[in-house]
Amino acid sequence: MKNVLLILLASCLTTTFLFAQATFNTIDSVDINNINASVLVHGDMWRYPNNPIIPDCKFPNGSNKNLHRLGSIWLSGYDGTGNLHIAAQTYRWVNDYWPGPLDASDTLNYATSSSWAKIWKVNLTDIETFLSFPIHTTTNTPQSILTWPGKGNINATGNSGTPLTITSDMAPFVDLNGNGIYEPLLGEYPEIKGNQTLWWVFSDNGPTHNQTNGRPLGVEVHAMAYAFKRGTLIDNVVYYEYTIVNKSAYNYSNFRIAQWDDIQIGYSYPFEDFIGYDSIWRMAVDYSGTNCNGCTTGDTVNNYGANPPQTALTMIVLPGDAGTSYVPAGSFDYYVNDASIIGNPANDSEYDNYMRAKLRNSQHFTDDFSGAASPCNGYGMGANVNYLFTGDPSNYSQWSDCSCNNNPGDRRTVFSSNDFNLNAGSSQRVVFALLVADTAKGCPLASFNDIKIVADTAWGNYFQNASGIKNIINNIGVNIYPNPTHNLLYLENSVPNTGEENTTFYNIIGQKLNVPISGTGNKRVADLSGLPNGIYLVVYNDGTIQKTVKVIKE
């Protein structure tokens, strides 16, 4: 009987231990514009949490068609004695990353990770509504603003509503009184970029570090994903900002951040992909190896069919950029799903090799292009290169998957930054953008002209809105005036609307009011003569933009 009890106790302990290491399936999406792109709390994205082979990066938004099957960031660097430290994530059978910040001893336990297994999501309309209230309370403040994980926020909550004590810099916020503490009831709000922002944090020295089985870096990653909705080409862009904080005692050299990407244009068939690189926009391009996506399987409903779109990642901000001088990216290469020399990485050095334009055996990738239709897979004869398939596929005199007449396949790409130093206690920021060109095509009709236009849009928009939410709010495309007003209020949109314009008035306690509105086109007039003097909220929505304004009638 005693032995049975011991066996049962051991079984319970083992089960408890295994359960305690369970990963977290928290998921949310940037879904404000033409792309619906998911993120998860273990440093991965563009997939469903319970099945890593089902993609979740939909374009167009609302469809079942996808651009990527899975993505995540990889990090590596060398300490002062030349030891490699590394963190990576792929299909999450095992984990290098866990949600949550590191503690003072540079570690992250499971309980803390569980509390931080949350993605905070804020829409610009939430902030506009918040700013329209003269007094902020826990009742009228949107939960996305009230619980935002800014430093010192006494209302911050994490996974399942767990209260969080935040004593260091976490999610950014507009600090009106300059005391470094986030106080939403004093009118402070999240510092977002775009019409919608997601924020989360993960670290690489948590309960396990068994994806690479290498030395942990001891870094904390503050991640932000955001997008704009403008009814323009910027609606085909999602931005990703990573701030990497070195909480370890090591000064790292040759540090790199990479975006790993298991591409899959379409949904049901992962073997039609081609890749390419453009150095001007520091851009890795994914496109279809056939101009009829899904025709191989006879499924053009869940895939794109004729003239499929192209997708790309562009590195907008890298360490070493200065003004209008931009350093080159570090490398762009790929591997395939097998155990060959160019197959799945099996240890820390092999993960690091792919971040530095090397194969699993440390052989460098090469430029093996010798003319159209020549065998040129990037690891034959030729000079060492840091970027593969650097030609435009529309030009068969240049090196591309298409001009090589390669077989489309199931590719995993690794797109890395340049080398930089990350000293103990310091941080670095990197900005990627996910792009889509829906007017592009697959091989043999493919050209990078349209995806370059989207990249140009993404770069220009990023630097135009670099000052953050204050600039965004001030440039919303509708003007509501005069304010204060006596009787008439004009609503004028600076850009053509979609014909779905809707304006709603509320009193200060949230009751909807009946206010006559006349006029057509982009200029309307509201008659407030039937309302008593006081403060009112105007919610304007034309299908492209939404704005909430506090209006005073006197």
Structure tokens at 205: 């020295």
Predicted confidence (pLDDT) at residue 506 exceeds the cutoff of 70? yes
Distance from the Cα of residue 260 to its chain's centroid: 13
Mean pLDDT of 464-484: 63
148 pLDDT more than 70: yes
Candidates 379, 337, 382, 387; CA nearest to 362 is: 379
For residues 304 and 294, give the distance between their C-alpha atoms in angstroms, rounded to a whole number. 7
pLDDT at 11: 41
The average pLDDT across 202-211 equals 97
Of 87-91, 151-155, 269-273, 395-399, the poorest mean pLDDT is in 269-273
Residues 147-174: what's their mean pLDDT?
Answer: 97
Highest mean predicted confidence (pLDDT) among 33-37, 65-69, 370-374: 33-37
Among 319-333, 361-375, 421-435, the least confident range: 361-375
pLDDT at 475 over 70: no
Residue keyed to tokens 């006081």: 534
Look up residue 306 and give its two tokens. Answer: 């004729």
No. of H helices and E strands in the chain? 7, 33
- pLDDT surpasses 70 at 2: no
pLDDT of residue 17: 40
DSSP per-residue letters across 60-102: STTSS-EEEEEEEEEEEEE-TTS-EEEE--SSSSS-S-EES--
What is the tens place of the pLDDT at every residue in 364-384?
Answer: 999 999 887 777 999 988 999
Question: Which pLDDT score is estimated for 544?
Answer: 57
Round to whole Å and give the CA distance between 282 and 430.
13
* Per-residue pLDDT reduced to its tens digit, 345-356: 999 999 999 999
